[in-house]
Amino acid sequence: MNRLALSILCLILGITLIILGNRREDSVAGVSDAVGTSIANTWDGKARQPKHVWYYVGGGALILTGVLMALKKSGP
């Protein structure tokens, strides 16, 4: 696969992960995960994140990778 196809694939997967993270955040499972994480963080002081945050981080990283791959110039 050429680099342009890989960059488009990364962009599509990144957008998909962000959409899935948004759906999870709005669902009952996401709300209960956020409440449980908040209670656990208050209890022992550790820095935990709900699962939908990792969807956002992964999606953003894939989008950034796709953009950088598309904008990178080929060698001389």
Residue 10 pLDDT: 95
User: Is residue 34 in a domain?
Assistant: yes
Per DSSP, the residues of 12-29 read HHHHHHHHHHHHHHHSHH
User: Is residue 67 in a domain?
Assistant: yes
pLDDT digit string (tens) for 20-74? Answer: 999 988 888 888 888 888 888 888 877 888 888 999 999 999 999 999 998 987 7
User: Is residue 59 in a domain?
Assistant: yes
Domain tally for the chain?
1
Mean pLDDT across 2-14:
92
pTM of the predicted model, to two decimals?
A: 0.80
Q: Which residue has the higher pLDDT, 49 or 8?
A: 8
CA dist list (Å): 22 to 28, 34, 39, 40, 42: 12, 13, 21, 22, 24
Would the pLDDT of 75 be above 70? no
**Residue numbers of the domain that contains 53:** 3-71
User: Is residue 76 in a domain?
Assistant: no
Helix or strand holding residue 44 (H, E): helix 28-44
